[in-house]
Structure 1
Amino acid sequence: MSESFDLVVRNGTVVLPGEVVRADVGVRNGKIAAVAGDIGAVEAARAIDAEGCLVMPGVIDAHVHFNEPNFGHWEGFRTGSAALAAGGCTAYADMPLNGNPPTVDGKALREKERLAAGHSAVDYAFWGGLVPGNLDRLRELADAGVVGFKAFMSNPGGEGEGRFREADPGTLRAGMERIAAFGGLLALHAESDAMTARLAALARSEGRTGARDFALSRPVAAELEAVADALAMAEETGCRLHFVHISSPEAVRLVAAARGRGMDVSLETCPHYLTLTEEDMVRLGPVAKCAPPLRDAARREGLWAGLLAGDIDWIASDHSPCPESMKMAPGLTFFDAWGGIAGAQNTLELMLEEGWIKRGLPLPALSELLSARPARRFGFYPRKGEIAVGFDADLAIVDPNRPRELAKEELLHRHPHSPYIGKRLSCKVVATLCRGIEVYREREGIVAPGAGVRLGPVRAAETF
């Protein structure tokens, strides 16, 4: 090859669609310009030696909560994106609910855009919200480039007049009709509010406020009822649907059956449902609290079976952080503690450990789950999601031989609590490149803190 490159990543084990090869990756103008075994000697402005390392497509995390505006003290774009970059993530979609105001109209979206610009280490996109009272704002948000709309079928919690509220059945149906009319995507937190509210109130009235009591108040039945109701409504309205943080294999089977009937529906699960159980929640306390709650070991393995069978579309962190005091203050019951897992930095390393190393999930299949499928769903493909000529040079360089226990000191998100601290890992992200810009190096940390840009779809999102 006679061309010159801005950067060559040399000697790596490169994860391509369908295969893993020993190759060099040449980068020019932020794009992948060559993937071949013979470009290491070609002139390049700089080089990264990836000898002994995996070179994977950057992770696309479709589900994070960075909480700006006005709740950046929980997590902001600078700290949250730093954690993602240190975990090999090169793009993310930020959820609409925990900022004040939440992202439910164009004005709120513009404020969020202003706060993110120049403060994110990696590329980003935004979800809009579907809540009671904002039906007339959905098209406005769609035209402004949100990747889709998030709605809750159960109470998302929080306080105050401007908080993000669950969508009642009338709002949900009307929202689906409007979103279907312009071809948008609706993402749902699917738990039956009637069931969870009744069971939680009963538990509190009886003084049952521990971890197991919380799990019993949000049973799998609540997830299944909500998923079934939403699927029926989407089938009637023609709305494209996505289910977030599915926690049970039973719900995976419901969604897979609907897709088999021709519905345009996708689902994600999260590393915490694939690596932790209800027993861990009891052992670790509120740092492992989330909704839906962690399930038993049999259901965890059932999720892996669904994933290996191809019934789960992607894996997302659902990074939902808060100050330590909201998790661990003296006197807080498990019900009162903030519910959310802080895990932005660890998705890739956890899935390499639990999927590739322990369960034999092929690296190309793992890459599909972490990168290509969300890229396709959001219309970022063929710009993002794979290592291929013409794609953005979004790369995660991973040392597969770095056994360690995850230490609190490694974590870059604002409040470094996590249920994964102390977990044994075999792999370590050592560098992350976003559009050819090295944004993270293990030794120096974040080296390009404002390199990220806002993403818009490059073409219509694909049907699943």
Structure 2
Amino acid sequence: MYDVLVINGETVTESGPIEANVAIKDGRIAALLGRDVKPDAASLIDAQGKLVFPGIIDAHVHLRTAHSLNADTLQTASAAAAFGGVTTLLSFVAPVRAKGGGSEGETYPELETHGVDVEAFFNAVIEEGNRTSLIDFGLHCMLLPNPEVARQIEILTRLGITSFKLMMAYGRRGWVSSDEALSLAMSAIARNQALAMVHAENDGLIRHLEDQYKAQGSYDAENFLNSRPNLAEAEAIYRACCIAKVVDCPVYVVHLSSKEGLEKIMESRTAGQPVWTETCPQYLLLTHEDTLRLRGLVKMAPPLRTVGDNQALWQGLRRGMIGIVATDHAAFNREKQKLAARSFAEVPFGAPGIETLLPLIYSEGVAKGRISLTQLVKVLATNPARQFGLYPRKGTLQVGADADLVVFDPEADWEIRSEALHSAAGYTPFEGWRGKGKPLLSLLRGDVLLKEGKLHQSPGSGRFLQRRPFSAAEATP
């Protein structure tokens, strides 16, 4: 007898929709059965008229850590994720200490990057996550400039952390890696069969433009946008790809925002270089006009762009040039965002998004004919699992995979309201947006996670996911 049987739904796999009942045993998918095959099971889930997706993976999340005092902890973010149909998240962590311990009043504390016991540091993060997360989680390492980078990479890959983010922006915080540092880090990443991730913006150009506007006394939302032009992203992508090519390192560009940036990625891919990218709902759906309207609530880097950039990114998704949609969830509470009333320069970067990921991409993507159901499953589940060494355990409904799945009502109407969301941020860039399609029920390794708008798991139900060494052959097509 099976533990769970999901019947009568339209099961959507990375190969396309199929009419199949999903049988679950011991936390794994045990069989995909014909619609008329209904063996005994301890629990029966009738998905008549509904879609059945693999559990959604958000591959780009920022939480409260030593380097950034975000509003959300892993506990609060994982709860918000679960309400949105996300069953796995991947979070960025930097092995640093806040000088003096940091304080609640700080957004980006001054950091110590040297002398950190990286293995003990990440083991503590993993232990806390295993105690507090409601969903499964993995970690990316955010590498800030320090002489111990090569050793840190070697240690962390042994812990199953096989993706490393390098910053080409935020030089005023001391986060930016020089071209030499990028080369050294990418060489070590390649040696250890890992993946380099880059935040690609030309820091020197941005700082010059910022200083110019500040000297004129006019650093507001409009000039914030002007100080981070599309070409600042495109140039940094080109430079990162050149360095990666020389040292033979695979590279993944995070939060792609511009048409020009996509063009640079495709130039490298066409030349046979192992380069991948993601984009985010905000870069598909919002524009610079939203920055002028919402100001600090949507201050992010790279910034919101134009309708033309939105359209180019949707086209990139349709054509498979962009393999993943993730959120870059980086929530600060609304009080911090109100600093925009005094000085736009003081407003922290970032916005929440993990809970609205699936509803937005379904409603704005599938329901409006921009992408297919199969493409949705690929960019939100299968491709993240492939890219980050979790497939076929995650991101798929094939036999043997973890029984993470979402029963989704394609006809359910919704309106996004901040007071109904579960992030600690207390706001959303998509306030008042209306759409169709939302998760009704989800399973995490065969156990009910979400049902009828209520969570059925508690902190500690999530598990840390060790990941395999990176393989370009297994990654996103």
Q: What SS is found at the alignment partner of 1:367?
A: helix
Name which of 220, 244, 247 aligns with 2:230.
220
Task: Give the gaps of 5 or more residues in structure 2.
Answer: 99-110
Where does 1:102-141 land on structure 2 (aligned, <5 Å)?
105-133=118-146, 134-135=148-149, 136-141=151-156
1:401 and 2:411 equivalent?
Answer: yes
Where does 1:63-102 land on structure 2 (aligned, <5 Å)?
63-68=60-65, 74-97=71-94, 100=97
CA distance in 2, matches of 1:117, 1:99: 21
Amino acid at match of 2:77: G
Amino acid at match of 1:128: C
Are the counterparts in 2 of residues 249 and 306 from structure 1 also a CA contact under 8 Å?
no
222 and 330 in structure 1: CA distance in 2 versus 1, 3 angstrom threshold: closer
CA distance in 2, matches of 1:179, 1:363: 35
Moved over 6 A (4+): 70-73
CA distance in 2, matches of 1:100, 1:269: 30
330 and 124 in structure 1: CA distance in 2 versus 1, 3 angstrom threshold: closer
CA distance in 1, matches of 2:465, 2:417: 32
Amino acid at match of 1:152: M
Are the counterparts in 2 of residues 22 and 37 from structure 1 also a CA contact under 8 Å?
yes
- Which deviations, in whole Å up to 9, do the C-alpha atoms of 1:343-394 show, x marking residues without a partner? 0111111100111011341111111111111111111111111111111111
| CA apart distance, 1:69 | 5.5
Are the counterparts in 2 of residues 151 and 167 from structure 1 also a CA contact under 8 Å?
yes
Q: Partner residue of 2:380?
A: 370
| CA apart distance, 1:130 | 2.0
| CA apart distance, 1:79 | 0.5
CA distance in 2, matches of 1:168, 1:390: 44
Are the counterparts in 2 of residues 319 and 344 from structure 1 also a CA contact under 8 Å?
yes
Where does 1:7-406 land on structure 2 (aligned, <5 Å)?
7-38=4-35, 41-68=38-65, 74-97=71-94, 100=97, 105-133=118-146, 134-135=148-149, 136-155=151-170, 165-329=175-339, 331-406=341-416
Are the counterparts in 2 of residues 68 and 99 from structure 1 also a CA contact under 8 Å?
no
RMSD: 2.0
Are the counterparts in 1 of residues 193 and 469 from structure 2 also a CA contact under 8 Å?
no
CA distance in 2, matches of 1:230, 1:460: 19
CA distance in 1, matches of 2:172, 2:428: 21
Q: What SS is found at the alignment partner of 1:429?
A: strand
> So what's the TM-score if we normalise by structure 1?
0.93
| CA apart distance, 1:71 | 6.4
- Which deviations, in whole Å up to 9, do the C-alpha atoms of 1:173-226 show, x marking residues without a partner? 111111111221110000001001111111111122222211101001110111
CA distance in 1, matches of 2:264, 2:439: 35
451 and 462 in structure 1: CA distance in 2 versus 1, 3 angstrom threshold: farther
Q: Partner residue of 1:161?
A: none
CA distance in 2, matches of 1:251, 1:394: 34
CA distance in 2, matches of 1:460, 1:149: 11
- Which deviations, in whole Å up to 9, do the C-alpha atoms of 1:81-133 show, x marking residues without a partner? 11111111111111124985689722321221121112111111111122221
429 and 332 in structure 1: CA distance in 2 versus 1, 3 angstrom threshold: farther
Are the counterparts in 2 of residues 67 and 97 from structure 1 also a CA contact under 8 Å?
no
CA distance in 2, matches of 1:72, 1:197: 23
CA distance in 1, matches of 2:377, 2:41: 27
Q: What SS is found at the alignment partner of 2:320?
A: coil
Amino acid at match of 2:143: L
Q: What SS is found at the alignment partner of 1:358?
A: coil
234 and 125 in structure 1: CA distance in 2 versus 1, 3 angstrom threshold: same
Are the counterparts in 2 of residues 268 and 314 from structure 1 also a CA contact under 8 Å?
yes
Q: What SS is found at the alignment partner of 1:218?
A: coil
Q: What SS is found at the alignment partner of 1:268?
A: strand
CA distance in 2, matches of 1:203, 1:97: 31
288 and 446 in structure 1: CA distance in 2 versus 1, 3 angstrom threshold: farther
- Which deviations, in whole Å up to 9, do the C-alpha atoms of 1:151-181 show, x marking residues without a partner? 11011665xxxxx722122211111111111
97 and 196 in structure 1: CA distance in 2 versus 1, 3 angstrom threshold: farther
226 and 460 in structure 1: CA distance in 2 versus 1, 3 angstrom threshold: closer
| CA apart distance, 1:449 | 3.4
Q: Aligned pair count?
A: 456
CA distance in 1, matches of 2:120, 2:295: 38
CA distance in 2, matches of 1:433, 1:72: 31
CA distance in 2, matches of 1:27, 1:240: 36
| CA apart distance, 1:402 | 1.4
Are the counterparts in 2 of residues 71 and 98 from structure 1 also a CA contact under 8 Å?
no
Q: What SS is found at the alignment partner of 1:439?
A: strand
Are the counterparts in 2 of residues 439 and 449 from structure 1 also a CA contact under 8 Å?
no
Are the counterparts in 2 of residues 441 and 447 from structure 1 also a CA contact under 8 Å?
no
Q: What SS is found at the alignment partner of 1:150?
A: strand
CA distance in 2, matches of 1:288, 1:98: 27
